[in-house]
A and B are shown apart, each in its own frame.
Chain A
Amino acid sequence: MRRSKRATPERLHQVFAEQDARRHLLQLAEGQQTSLNPALARFVACPDWQIASYLLHTALHASLSDRRRARLAAPPGWLHPL
């Protein structure tokens, strides 16, 4: 009598995890995930955007690290910019 090999839930989970990993890695290896994402693709192609992001990141970092800085009162006669 032939005995069929039964797939246990653990084995199925393993197979699905393997297939999932393979599919995602293949997409990453072919660069599809970046090229399929319009925002990422534009970011990679645009040096101005990259520089702007870097400046923003640096500014945010600087503002966070300077929290203990004391604010000076505005000099007399100073007007708010309109």
Chain B
Amino acid sequence: MPPGAGLTIPRLEFVDHKPVPAEYRIIQGERAAAQLALNLLEAGVLSGEDWGASQGDPLTFLHQGLERWLDSNGRGQIRQQFFVDVVLSASLDRFSYRSEPCEENLVTVFLTIEPDSAGYVVLGPTLRLLDQVHPRLPATFLHLFLGALNRWVRAYDYRDALDRLDRIREWYEGDPEAEQLELPNVDAAIPESARRRPLGTRVLESVLEGCRSRQVKALVLKAQELERASRSAERPIASYEQRESLMDCGEPVPALVAVFEERDAIEGAFDEEAQGMLEVTPEPNLIIPFDGKRVANVASAFDCLATLCRTLTLAAELISVMPGNRRGGNQ
């Protein structure tokens, strides 16, 4: 088309008449992010299909890819009962900006699990239902359910409430005003059925065989499935140096508060304790350290995270069918 009579818009060109790009972009830590993203891609965690949408930014690619990974590992179900964040970082200190990510930092990368707030489960109605079938079934259920969760995240239960009481008694030991101190009666809030000895695997099988209640069977089978999922991988252990870097942190925020009845003494103890929980940065519930430069290491770290996701998914499903709890999460 011949040029018109108007003015042409000036355009910057290189000497070879190629247009000068309208935008240049340098991203801090881009090389390290690209190396990590490449290894996550090789490990099958990220999908190449997300690259187009990331507009050439490895950090966006990592973020979008991890969102997709979490979606395919039960995020929707987990969110109904648990409020946990997954953090991928080259440092355990969330507020550290001492150095930008570099290739050397990739030797130790961390996946951490940090609850935003605690989920909530009421155990009493379930224990009463199980008690009707066998007196030791409630303790067995508790053992399976809380044991499976505590292997990966912190679940606040009656044992934490009792520990808190012991600590308070120690603080006030020798204090003349200690007699006037009113402490919550946690002991009274613990049902007798929870104190019994859990059943062994063989006895449990025979109890289930003879059980006519579908609801009880479903609850116990689900708890067993949860226990198996939780045990299917080893919880990673943080090194001495990594633990040392968390010395100034507080106790981990519980991912779940397990009470026997709504507003019981255990919930009261948690409420009291929760007031001081965020005074210092809490420790993460779980730390999965891995070498971001080794594909095999990346794959095994994400296998471990997948085990946690599976455990939380099953726990969320179980909570939603436990009597006394609401589907889609408790308030």
- Listed in ascending order, the chain A residues whose CB lies under 8 Å from chain B are 13-14, 17-22, 24-26, 28-31, 34, 37, 39-40, 43-44
Contacts and interface: CB of A to CB of B under 8 A. Distances in A.
Interface string B19-37: 0100010100011001101
B38 A44 contact: no
A37 B48 contact: no
B24 A17 contact: no
Given A22-B41, A25-B37, A31-B31, A14 B24 contact: no
B58 A40 contact: no
Contacts of A26: 34, 38
B56 interface: yes
B52 A25 contact: no
B49 interface: yes
Given A25-B41, A25-B58, A39 B24 contact: yes
Given A24-B56, A25-B41, A29-B35, A37 B24 contact: yes
Contact of A18 (B20, B31, B48, B56): B48
A40 B48 CA distance: 26
B173 to A, nearest CB: 60
Interface size classification for chain B? 10 to 19
21 contacts: A17-B47, A17-B48, A18-B41, A18-B49, A19-B48, A20-B51, A20-B52, A21-B41, A21-B48, A22-B48, A24-B56, A25-B35, A25-B37, A26-B34, A28-B30, A28-B34, A29-B31, A31-B31, A34-B26, A37-B24, A40-B26
Given A24-B56, A28-B34, 19 more contacts: A17-B49, A19-B48, A20-B48, A21-B51, A24-B51, A25-B34, A25-B35, A25-B38, A25-B41, A25-B51, A26-B34, A26-B38, A28-B30, A28-B58, A30-B31, A31-B31, A39-B20, A39-B24, A40-B24
A25 B56 CA distance: 8
Nearest to B32: A29
B41 A43 contact: no
B24 A21 contact: no
B199 to A, nearest CB: 49
B61 interface: yes
* Interface of B: prevailing SS: helix
A20 B30 CA distance: 18
A26 B30 CA distance: 11
A56 to B, nearest CB: 14
Interface string B39-65: 001000001111110001010010000
Task: Identify the 3 closest CB pairs spanning chains A and B, nearest first.
Answer: A18-B48, A21-B51, A28-B34
Contacts of A18: 41, 47-49
A14 B48 contact: yes
Contacts of B24: 37, 39-40, 43
A37 B50 CA distance: 25
B24 to A, nearest CB: 6
Contacts of A40: 24, 26
Contacts of A19: 48
Contacts of A44: 26
Contacts of A22: 38, 41, 48
A62 to B, nearest CB: 22
A23 to B, nearest CB: 10
Interface in B297-314: none
A1 to B, nearest CB: 32
A13 B51 CA distance: 12
A25 B27 CA distance: 13
